[in-house]
A and B are shown apart, each in its own frame.
Chain A
Amino acid sequence: MNVKRLSGVLLLVMVLAMLVSACAPVAPAAPAAAADSAAAPAAGETTTLTWAFWGSPEEAASHQRVGAAFMAEHPEITLEYWNQPWDDYFTKIQALWASGDTATIPDVAFLWPTPRYAAEGVLENLDPYVEASGYNLEDYWPGLLDSAMFEGAHYGFPRDIEVNILYYNKDLFDAAGIDYPTDAWTWDDLQAAAEALTVKDASGNTETYALAMEGGKFLKWVNQNGGQILDDFINPSACTLDSPEAIAGIQFFTDLLNDGYAMRPADLNQAGGDAAVFQSGQAAMIIQNTSRVSAFNAAAMNYDVVPVPTPAGGKRWNGAGGAAWVMSSGSDSKDAAWTFLSWLQSAEGGQKLYTEAGEIFPALQSVATSPAFMNDQPPANKQGIITEAESSDVGGFGFFPEWGEIDGSIVGPGMDLVWSGEATPADQVPVVCEQFNAFLAENGYPKP
């Protein structure tokens, strides 16, 4: 055998070795996983659950504190954390589910939007567990559980509820010499205050906007005014955003934008979002959920909150929805997963811990009215948040799988033109509805 041959053989051996070693960790894993799913854990043994959530290192640390509290109460269950940044989370968790490998599929996961994933068959129907354990569904805010339902069954429990309220900067109200907002404010009061709060410099550039709100929250105005986006939120047949009530609600916000009182959503995005402009004093009021509270408290801002003003003769309305804890249908320890999931969503367990940490406005009403939430931290008007939360209802989004696509490709982009001032609501909303209806027809709605 000459040298060249020898080197060739050596190379072959190396390549084979590489291939074998690359495969090695996979080989023994398969039987182990099979054994896991077959045998129920005997007494004294611990079950290991994979718990998936997104978030920054700080958010992850908060979840892990909750996880540690659970393991202290339940020594028979060990939690393993699977944490990804928001931008990667959904792609990666989809890949895990698609792999079908029960050893890596998260048993309990944080998820949004739940119906989309339930339709794919990767989530466990929680109704049998609710029935067997007598878990209390009555404590949730009205309409909230609907956001995690699919075909009439519960596939997840929302951890929190998005309650959009009006934050106002007291210093800027004092500077403008006007009274603080109250729970009784109407759209007219908001508009009058907006005029007084807007400050322009000599060359006409706006120094302070009265209001900043993300364009995606516009359904607040629509529903307050008696309109809604769909005729049916589970099995829609038509977009109803072109009703006079709905268009009038959109027009109210559009006028605030076109009059220069409210910051255009595109500018708001460029300026770093509502928390940034509120803290810097570029906006005197913002409409946003309670997630901003901890940042404003940390910055020691002089602010408070009120329920969002309503139109004369209109109603309060808060779109009920929030990311939910779900169980994978491919979980290999479903009973333990239910133990953990129901603990997370209990008044004395996860709900209380997250609320005390100032992380969430809780999904359970009893926790919201408990000292865990009604503490002496700002904002002072916590009752205002409860008032807004009590108006929670369906109507913020559809509960069918394609909603995200409609919202992301048709409604959001279509309304951009109104927010930028390029089109009027009367002209643009029918265009959006036309595309919307074409999409519904294309995807077979209403389903028989």
Chain B
Amino acid sequence: MTPQTSPTPRRYFRWQPDQQWEAYLFILPALVLFAVFVAAAMAYSLVISFADYGLTGIKGFVGLRNYQGLFRDPIFWQSFRNTAFYIITVVPIQLFLGLIMALALNQGIRGRTVYRLIYFMPVVTTIVAGAIVFRLLLATNGPINNLLSDIYALFGLPFKDINWLGSTRYSKWAVVVLTLWKNAGFTMVVYLAALQGVPQELYDAAETDGAGAWARFRNVTLPLISPTTFFLLVLQMIGAFQLFTEPFVMTRGGPANSSLSVVQYIYNAGFRDIRMDKASAMAWFLFAFILLFTLIQNRLQRRWVFYEAG
């Protein structure tokens, strides 16, 4: 680029006659679909969130009333706390499990392709089918309680049936277990790819310097896969914020809203209670919250994410 004497403002969509205008044609179909079904819909939902909206359209604008109503709504905050619980349990456990599985399958153990297949299978399984199986497993007189009861009996202890899905104490854990089962395989696959990108020379060098297995893991593997960890962290955090299907099919948010996630509450408000205005306000509040969280993570990554020079 030659330096110019007169400063030109930076423009993203500057038309130049010699530009390949056909390129825009190629992306036009996708762009039109995106504009109509995503961008326009999102913009309209932002408008609705400031309006009194019914089945017949916008009845009037109410400023911040829908947002103010949220702050006074105890169920909204309950769903928010539930979602926070899902985030602080699901995200770390899933990263940990995925990494452990990836490390194990990165060794030259026999039949590792089969194991990879097995662990990845839930990712491509329909969540509803998985949830039905888990509901049967977790039933009060189901296999998991029977197993626990056998284990208790081994130690001569009485076992009281745990109501996994029907008590406020355990319902969230039932959702967490299903979510982990469903998603850990994805984490594993991404970690596997990252592990295979760590150069063998570094391990050899570390070993020559007398580093043991833990030291090699701590000082070579972890820093080198930290960009992957960051990517997974952001992705899963957003996924956990938007958790819907898992609690919806496992517990319907119950009992006593104890497993209700924010997104399910949005769904209830919009499609059960016909309050699209309230639902839109919640959705935009959630969006702002996720955006804020992701920005914070982005800022924090400088302290622990290691990018290879060059």
**Least CB distance, B54 to chain A, in whole angstroms:** 5
> What count of chain A residues pass the 8 Å CB interface test?
43
Given contact pairs A267-B140, A413-B254, A420 touches B25 in the complex (Cβ within 8 A): no
Q: Which residues of A contact B165 (CB under 8 A)?
A: 266, 270
Q: Does the CB pair A413–B26 fall under 8 Å?
A: no
- Choose one: B26, B169, B254, B272; the contact of A404 (CB below 8 Å): B272
Report the Cα distance A110→B200, complex, angstroms. Answer: 68
Q: Does the CB pair A413–B139 fall under 8 Å?
A: no
Interface residues of A in 368-424 (CB under 8 A from B): 402, 404-405, 408-410, 412-414, 416-417, 419-420, 422
Q: Is A82 an interface residue (CB 8 A)?
A: no
Q: Does the CB pair B255–A122 fall under 8 Å?
A: no
Q: Does the CB pair B168–A264 fall under 8 Å?
A: no
Q: Which residues of B contact A121 (CB under 8 A)?
A: 54-56
Q: Does the CB pair A98–B254 fall under 8 Å?
A: no
Report the Cα distance A416→B22, complex, angstroms. Answer: 61
Q: Is B111 an interface residue (CB 8 A)?
A: no
Q: Does the CB pair B274–A116 fall under 8 Å?
A: yes
- Choose one: B26, B73, B135, B255; the contact of A420 (CB below 8 Å): B255
Q: Is B17 an interface residue (CB 8 A)?
A: no
Report the Cα distance A205→B55, complex, angstroms. Answer: 50
- Choose one: A4, A19, A408, A417; the contact of B273 (CB below 8 Å): A408
Q: Is B116 an interface residue (CB 8 A)?
A: no
Q: Does the CB pair A12–B25 fall under 8 Å?
A: yes
Q: Does the CB pair A266–B255 fall under 8 Å?
A: yes
Q: Which residues of B contact A409 (CB under 8 A)?
A: 75, 257, 268, 273
Q: Does the CB pair A420–B167 fall under 8 Å?
A: yes
Which of the segments A35-43, A89-97, A218-226 contacts the partner chain? A89-97
Q: Does the CB pair A97–B56 fall under 8 Å?
A: yes
Q: Does the CB pair A90–B271 fall under 8 Å?
A: yes
Q: Which residues of A contact B271 (CB under 8 A)?
A: 90-91, 94
Please encode chain B, from 18 to 62, with 1 for each CB lying within 8 Å of some chain A CB and 0 for all others.
000110011011001000000000000000000000111100000
**Least CB distance, A433 to chain B, in whole angstroms:** 14
Closest to A271 in B: B139
**Least CB distance, B120 to chain A, in whole angstroms:** 29
Please encode chain B, from 164 to 186, with 1 for each CB lying within 8 Å of some chain A CB and 0 for all others.
01111100000000000000000
Q: Does the CB pair A117–B22 fall under 8 Å?
A: no
Closest to B23 in A: A8
Given contact pairs A11-B25, A12-B25, A15-B25, A120 touches B167 in the complex (Cβ within 8 A): no
Q: Is A179 an interface residue (CB 8 A)?
A: no
**Least CB distance, A129 to chain B, in whole angstroms:** 22
Closest to A401 in B: B274
- Choose one: A8, A90, A91, A416; the contact of B25 (CB below 8 Å): A8
Q: Which residues of B contact A33 (CB under 8 A)?
A: none
Q: Does the CB pair A266–B163 fall under 8 Å?
A: yes
Please encode chain B, from 255 to 293, with 1 for each CB lying within 8 Å of some chain A CB and 0 for all others.
111001000000011011111000000000000000000
Given contact pairs A117-B55, A416-B254, A420-B255, A4 touches B22 in the complex (Cβ within 8 A): yes
Interface centre among B69, B167, B269, B271 (most CB of A within 10 A): B167
Q: Is A7 an interface residue (CB 8 A)?
A: yes
Please encode chain B, from 74 to 108, with 1 for each CB lying within 8 Å of some chain A CB and 0 for all others.
11000000000000000000000000000000000
Q: Is B72 an interface residue (CB 8 A)?
A: yes
Report the Cα distance A422→B254, complex, angstroms. Answer: 13
Closest to A415 in B: B256
Q: Does the CB pair A97–B72 fall under 8 Å?
A: no
**Least CB distance, B166 to chain A, in whole angstroms:** 3
Q: Which residues of A contact B32 (CB under 8 A)?
A: 19
Q: Which residues of B contact A8 (CB under 8 A)?
A: 21-22, 25
Q: Does the CB pair A11–B22 fall under 8 Å?
A: yes
Report the Cα distance A444→B293, complex, angstroms. Answer: 35
Q: Does the CB pair A7–B268 fall under 8 Å?
A: no
Interface centre among A7, A98, A122 (most CB of B within 10 A): A98
Q: Does the CB pair B56–A420 fall under 8 Å?
A: no
Q: Does the CB pair B163–A98 fall under 8 Å?
A: no
- Choose one: B140, B169, B255; the contact of A416 (CB below 8 Å): B255
Q: Is B297 an interface residue (CB 8 A)?
A: no
Q: Which residues of B contact A15 (CB under 8 A)?
A: 25, 28-29
Closest to B149 in A: A203
Q: Is B196 an interface residue (CB 8 A)?
A: no
Q: Is B219 an interface residue (CB 8 A)?
A: no
Please encode chain A, from 349 to 385, with 1 for each CB lying within 8 Å of some chain B CB and 0 for all others.
0000000000000000000000000000000000000
Closest to B253 in A: A413
Q: Is A348 an interface residue (CB 8 A)?
A: no
Q: Does the CB pair A422–B168 fall under 8 Å?
A: yes
Given contact pairs A266-B165, A420-B163, A11 touches B55 in the complex (Cβ within 8 A): no
**Least CB distance, B225 to chain A, in whole angstroms:** 41
Report the Cα distance A399→B253, complex, angstroms. Answer: 25
**Least CB distance, B27 to chain A, in whole angstroms:** 11
Q: Is B298 an interface residue (CB 8 A)?
A: no
Q: Is B301 an interface residue (CB 8 A)?
A: no
Report the Cα distance A419→B169, complex, angstroms. Answer: 14
Q: Is A34 an interface residue (CB 8 A)?
A: no
Closest to A402 in B: B273
Q: Is A30 an interface residue (CB 8 A)?
A: no
Q: Does the CB pair A98–B55 fall under 8 Å?
A: yes
Q: Which residues of B contact A412 (CB under 8 A)?
A: 254
Report the Cα distance A8→B23, complex, angstroms. Answer: 9
Q: Which residues of B contact A416 (CB under 8 A)?
A: 166, 168, 254-256
Q: Does the CB pair A404–B168 fall under 8 Å?
A: no
Report the Cα distance A18→B169, complex, angstroms. Answer: 55
- Choose one: A7, A265, A419; the contact of B22 (CB below 8 Å): A7
**Least CB distance, A272 to chain B, in whole angstroms:** 11
Please encode chain A, from 85 to 127, with 1 for each CB lying within 8 Å of some chain B CB and 0 for all others.
0000011001001101000000000000000110011100000
Closest to A435 in B: B74
Interface centre among B22, B163, B274 (most CB of A within 10 A): B274
Closest to A431 in B: B256
Interface residues of B in 200-238 (CB under 8 A from A): none
Q: Which residues of A contact B73 (CB under 8 A)?
A: 442
- Choose one: A12, A122, A266, A405; the contact of B55 (CB below 8 Å): A122
Closest 6 CB pairs of A and B: A266-B166, A416-B255, A8-B22, A120-B55, A405-B273, A413-B257
Where the two chains meet, the residues of B that have a C-beta atom closer than 8 Å to any C-beta of A are 21-22, 25-26, 28-29, 32, 54-57, 69, 72-75, 135, 139-141, 163, 165-169, 253-257, 260, 268-269, 271-275
Q: List 8 extra interface pairs beyond A15-B25, A117-B55, A409-B257, CB under 8 A.
A: A11-B25, A266-B166, A402-B273, A409-B75, A413-B253, A417-B256, A438-B74, A442-B73
A selection of 14 A-B contacts at a CB cut-off of 8 Å is A8-B21, A97-B55, A100-B56, A120-B274, A122-B55, A266-B165, A266-B166, A270-B135, A405-B273, A408-B272, A413-B256, A416-B166, A417-B256, A420-B167
